[in-house]
């Protein structure tokens, strides 16, 4: 069974819609900026991948994550040829921090934020009136978890159409925690390069319309072949190769594909030494007997880590890569880590290729793993 992706929307630091983001990725544009949301004198890390949409320079605003969520959902609905009345359509939102930044601004500055505003469902109900909305806070894998739930809902007959979305804004508590616990201080997010020192936060939102195959009004962008998820609970922060391997192989099984069928892998690529080494090792083993292996890229090198929405954003970018036959490079990758030897990481400039099937990785703290397989719509 497959499920159609008929609408896509996204907002990130490098673009205001999916195509603009993809074009920026292909151009290999450096997009990190000096930290604006918080006082940089309080932290070791001086950069982030922020969306520059604040009305007043140097002054943060509440409910930005909610604002981006509505924008991404609106884009996806328009792209799918649907109106904004979701009275018969549920919305599933994946996130890491929800509206935690708004809570911080309320606590510190007295920002006018109502308790109900901290729940994405409030704004979604008032704006789109969905039949139901659910929020999944599954760390970095949240939106792929939500995607898996959407396919289950359609298969079980709960709905024919589901909107899956994700959103996160940078929060000072999370930024400060990372700033304290990372051994080194990253000045950029550099996945799989020997210069990697850790992750830096990004911001943005993403949404897709998922429909029962053949029921959409317009063109199909891609087809979901399968989504696998697990929680290995191996360690609070360190990834477990066995748990990740299980998720990858389960995704292949659910999608009915073999490793040699995969043309593109959208890597989790968080830029942390342990994660990069673990993901490289797992994929090296999984694709060891699949010829040259798939092309691989990691968009966090230009978007930063967009947290709960990162998996779905990678999926949207994979869909555009398959449609346009080009894979964006991993920015700043000049000296790959030893564990990545043999992987076909795209370096320097975009790689042109015929792409039919893509794998999307998302691996979160606590061993919350999710892998999706999507197929190009021809």
pLDDT-above-70 percentage for the chain: 100
Whole-number average pLDDT of the chain: 96
- Domain total in the chain: 2
Q: Which of 188, 212, 236 is the last residue of a domain?
A: 212
pLDDT at residue 37 greater than cutoff 90: no
Residue 171 lies in a domain: yes
SS (H, E, C) the chain: CCEEEEEEEEEECCECCHHHHHHHHHHCCCCCEECCCCCHHHCCCCEEECCCCCCCCCCCCCCHHHHHHHHHHHHHHHHCCCCCCCCCCCEEEECCCCCHHHHHHHHHHCCCCCHHHHCHHHHHHHHCCCCCEEEECCHHHHHHHHHHHHHHHHHCCCCCEEEEEEEECCCHHHHHHHHHHCCCCCCCCCCCECCCCCCCEECEEEEEEEEECCCCCCCCCEEEEEEEEEECCCCCCCCCHHHHHHHHHHHHHHHCCCHHHCCEEECCCCCCHHHHHHHHHHHHHHCCCCCCCCEEECCHHHHCECHHHHHHHHHHHHHHHHHHCEECCCCCCCCECHHHCCCEECCCCCEECCCCEEEEEEEEHHHEEEEEEEEECC
What's the CATH number where 289 sits?
3.40.47.10
- The reply to whether 161 and 135 lie within a common domain is yes
- The reply to whether 189 and 251 lie within a common domain is no
Q: Which of 212, 230, 249 is the last residue of a domain?
A: 212
Q: Which of 189, 212, 235 is the last residue of a domain?
A: 212
- The reply to whether 207 and 305 lie within a common domain is no
- The reply to whether 138 and 45 lie within a common domain is yes
Mean pLDDT of 197-221: 95
Question: Which residue range(s) make up the domain with 337?
Answer: 222-376
pLDDT at residue 105 greater than cutoff 80: yes
Q: How far is CA 49 from CA 16, 303, 306, 323, in A?
A: 14, 6, 9, 27
Rg (CA), the chain: 19
pLDDT score of 129: 97
- The reply to whether 131 and 241 lie within a common domain is no
Distance of CA 350 to the CA centre of its chain: 20
- The reply to whether 195 and 119 lie within a common domain is yes
User: Whole-angstrom Cα distance, residue 149 to residue 281?
Assistant: 28
SS (H, E, C) 170-211: CCHHHHHHHHHHCCCCCCCCCCCECCCCCCCEECEEEEEEEE
Residue 217 lies in a domain: no
In degrees rounded to 5, what are phi and psi of residue 45?
Answer: -70, 135
Mean pLDDT of 32-39: 91
Angle at 351 between CA 349 and CA 357, to 5 degrees: 140
pLDDT score of 206: 98
Q: Are 106 and 113 in contact (CB under 8 A)?
A: yes
Q: Which two tokens mark 252?
A: 């292949």
- The tens digit of pLDDT for each residue in 312-370 reads 999 999 999 999 999 999 999 999 999 999 999 999 999 999 999 999 999 998 999 99
- The reply to whether 108 and 8 lie within a common domain is yes
Residue 84 lies in a domain: yes
pLDDT at residue 57 greater than cutoff 80: no
Quote the pTM value. Answer: 0.97
- The reply to whether 182 and 43 lie within a common domain is yes
- The reply to whether 201 and 226 lie within a common domain is no
pLDDT at residue 158 greater than cutoff 90: yes
Mean pLDDT of 213-238: 93
- The reply to whether 133 and 169 lie within a common domain is yes
pLDDT at residue 82 greater than cutoff 90: yes
- The reply to whether 116 and 239 lie within a common domain is no
- The reply to whether 29 and 84 lie within a common domain is yes
Q: Are 336 and 284 in contact (CB under 8 A)?
A: no
- The tens digit of pLDDT for each residue in 256-302 reads 999 999 999 999 999 999 999 999 999 999 999 999 999 999 999 99
């Amino acid at each position: 069974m497959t499920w159609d992706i008929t609408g896509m929307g996204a907002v990130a630091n490098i673009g205001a819609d999916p195509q603009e983001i993809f074009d920026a990725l292909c151009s290999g544009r450096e997009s990190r900026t000096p930290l604006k949301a918080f006082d940089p004198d309080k932290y070791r890390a001086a950069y982030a991948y922020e969306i520059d949409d604040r009305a007043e320079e140097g002054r943060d605003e509440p409910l930005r994550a909610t604002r981006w969520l509505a924008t991404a959902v609106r884009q996806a609905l328009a792209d799918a040829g649907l109106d904004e009345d979701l009275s018969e359509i549920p919305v599933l939102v994946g996130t890491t921090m929800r509206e935690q930044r708004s809570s911080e601004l309320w606590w510190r500055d007295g920002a006018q934020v109502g308790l109900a505003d901290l729940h994405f469902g409030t704004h979604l109900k008032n704006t789109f009136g969905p039949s139901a909305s659910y929020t999944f806070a599954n760390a970095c894998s949240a939106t792929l978890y939500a995607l898996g739930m959407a396919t289950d809902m359609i298969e079980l007959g709960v709905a024919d159409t589901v909107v899956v979305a994700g959103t996160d804004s940078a929060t000072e508590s999370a930024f400060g925690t990372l700033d304290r616990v990372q051994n080194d201080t990253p000045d950029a997010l550099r996945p799989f390069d020997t210069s990697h020192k850790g992750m830096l936060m990004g911001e943005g939102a993403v949404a897709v319309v998922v429909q029962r195959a053949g029921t959409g009004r317009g063109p199909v962008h891609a087809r979901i072949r399968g989504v696998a998820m697990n929680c290995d609970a191996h360690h609070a922060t360190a990834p477990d190769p066995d748990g990740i391997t299980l998720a990858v192989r389960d995704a292949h099984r659910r999608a009915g594909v073999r490793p040699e069928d995969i043309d593109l892998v959208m890597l989790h690529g968080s830029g942390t030494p342990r994660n990069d080494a673990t993901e490289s090792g797992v994929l090296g083993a999984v694709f060891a007997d699949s010829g040259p292996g798939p092309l691989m890229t990691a968009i966090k090198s230009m978007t930063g880590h967009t947290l709960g929405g990162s998996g779905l954003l990678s999926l949207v970018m994979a869909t555009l890569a398959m449609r346009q036959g080009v894979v964006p490079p991993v920015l700043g990758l000049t000296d790959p880590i030893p564990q990545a030897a043999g992987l076909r990481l795209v370096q320097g400039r975009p790689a042109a290729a015929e792409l039919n099937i893509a794998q999307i990785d998302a691996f979160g703290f606590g061993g919350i793993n999710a892998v999706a397989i999507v197929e190009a719509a021809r």
